[in-house]
Chains A and B, each alone.
Chain A
Amino acid sequence: SAVISQKPSRDICQRGTSLTIQCQVDSQVTMMFWYRQQPGQSLTLIATANQGSEATYESGFVIDKFPISRPNLTFSTLTVSNMSPEDSSIYLCSTRGAGAYNEQFFGPGTRLTVL
């Protein structure tokens, strides 16, 4: 299994500003994922971050809006740029477990409110 921590756990931000969310895993992992969960909704994959390469973004998400860093095998950041109220969501970091099932482990999430 993998234990994942995220900072901050929650934040309230003003429109037009940016917030960087940190994700730390207690072991080295190849793939890290960033998800968005809008209020009352399911999880939507934003991007996949592999160490040493550019993040791969899903349809509807762009690097200018959600830049991602992956400096090593245990850490990643997601920045939500030029925020608007529509960005108010929970942002979750995740990684894939080793072994046959490849289950995903999730961080506790960052609850972002944009005013």
Chain B
Amino acid sequence: DQQVKQNSPSLSVQEGRISILNCDYTNSMFDYFLWYKKYPAEGPTFLISISSIKDKNEDGRFTVFLNKSAKHLSLHIVPSQPGDSAVYFCAAKVRDMRFGAGTRLTVKP
């Protein structure tokens, strides 16, 4: 039962443009959502989060949007940089924390 879904395995964007990564969830009990960045042979690194009582959270170049009625969240990266190239995971929490399958972002110079 995949409660958190990332339907795009990969995304390629040009440096300086916007990257939009999407995530859908099925469990309406989730009350906290997170995005993680992961490099090979390393543990995931926290990027940004949002509580279910909000619909937007910004941190520098990163913004997360939450649409509870659609059970959908997205991560916007503006402007995208080559160093942003990594696998991005969305996650959702109640007591436990469930992850999507990840989206590999490639930012081309």
Are A and B subunits of one complex? Answer: no
B binding-site residues for A, Cβ under 8 Å: none
